[in-house]
Structures are given as C-alpha cells and as structure tokens.
Homo-oligomer: A and B are copies of this chain.
Amino acid sequence: MSVHNVKAIVFDTFGTISDWRSSIAREAQIVAKSKGLNDFDGDAFARAWRAGYRPGMAPVISGEREWTPIDTIHRERLDEILPQFGLDMLDEAERDRLNRAWHRINPWPDSIPGLLRLKKKFLIAPLSNGSLTLLASMAKRAGIPWDFVFSSDMHKAYKRDPRVYQNAIALLGMAPGEVMMGAAHNDDLEAARAEGMRTAYINRPTEYGPDQVKDFEATSDWDIIVDDVEGIADVMGC
C-alpha cells in the first residue's frame, strides 16, 4: 500500500481538526448577549466571518499583497461585518478579544482520540494557515497532542501555495511520499499530491452548515478516504 512509507502526518486545522463554526458562533453569541442583542444569529455571524477568509488570503497568495498574518486577515473581516450584525459598538479591546476566538476553537469529537492513536506511530502536526501562536494556543487549550506545529508564518505563505507543502517536506528532511496530508478539503489534497505527498481525505460535510457548497465527498482517489480522524488510525493500523 502506498501509505506504507509514511512517517509523518500533517493536518489541515480549520474545519478538518477543529469545528470553527460552532466555536465562533458560541463566542460571538456571548458577546452579543452582553451587549443586549436578543436576535443575534451566532451561526450566521461565524459563517459571514469565515466567508472573508479565502478572499482575505487571495491577494497574499497571488503576490499582490505582502505577507500578512492570519490574525490581521481575521481582524479586517471582523471589522467589516460587525456593523451588519449590530456589533459596531465593540471597542478595540473587545474586538481584539473576539478576534482571538480563532485561537480557542474546539476540535471535532473524533480529532483528539484519532490523533492520540496516530501519535504513537507517526509524527503529527498541523499544516495550517493559522499563525504559530494561534495554533499553539488552540492545541494547548483543547489538548490537541501535536508533536510540533507548522504555521503559515513559518512559510510566509498560505495554502494552496506550493511553497507551504515543499517547505514542510524540506523541514522534515523526509521524502515527499513519507509525509501524508490529512484534510477535509479536496483542493488542499490536490496541492499536497502535486508535491508528491500521500493524501487522506476526512469528510466534514457539515463544516460550513448551510453555506457549504463543496467538499461533501472525496472528488479523487486519495490514498485514504474516511469520515473522521479515527478512520485514518484504523487504516494506518494504530
């Protein structure tokens, strides 16, 4: 089997390991309640915030904009949507605190059990667009047992820029086929496969809720196709 040589497994984080939508909705709902908003829709707020994520990274990936950390991209979108949701009264400290809700998002229920199994046999790490402090804080708070962290600021690039995958492989000092990418997003796996990495698709059809338009299923013959992180551990014999 092609995954026999795998020594390290790196994971997309937002959506694959962590359920950003329910976590952001919950934190936003608490803030809205503290401001006396009674008809605030936390889930819609989370989705609206997230809708600025790819457009926010796009000019960085294309080279039109210089390297910009993910906290800045999150914050720009936050400032943009707060008025629409009746939260434009938030002051600087409140906005900063809410922006860091992305440092506190919770894992899906299967993520930690699956990672604990995989960790016994493989080096495991995020290969995420998050910043180092975001990813390390999230893992520490939730108990995600990474062996180390790859963050976007280490590469000064965002996925799907090929340099992210190339740099991860180089830092590991491994052959591309010894590294597996786990993700709930087919285009992330396409980019990983293009660099010679092994691929594991984890189906997360509820990630975006009513806004989900793709990634309801694997669209290619990825090395592993499963419904959760424990499924990867099953296939890998952990």
Contact = CB atoms under 8 A, between A and B. Distances in A.
A119 B139 CA distance: 12
A142 to B, nearest CB: 12
Interface residues of A, number: 25
A173 B131 contact: yes
Contact of A69 (B125, B132, B173): B173
Interface in A133-191: 133, 135-137, 139-140, 146-149, 151, 153-154, 170-174
Contacts of A170: 153
Identical chains in the assembly = 2
21 contacts: A69-B173, A123-B133, A123-B136, A123-B137, A123-B140, A131-B173, A132-B171, A132-B172, A133-B173, A133-B174, A136-B147, A136-B148, A139-B147, A146-B148, A147-B149, A148-B149, A149-B149, A151-B171, A153-B171, A153-B173, A154-B171
What's the dominant secondary structure at chain A's contact region?
helix
Nearest to A137: B123
A71 interface: yes
A89 to B, nearest CB: 27
Given A133-B172, A133-B173, A140-B147, 5 more contacts: A123-B136, A123-B140, A132-B172, A139-B147, A151-B171
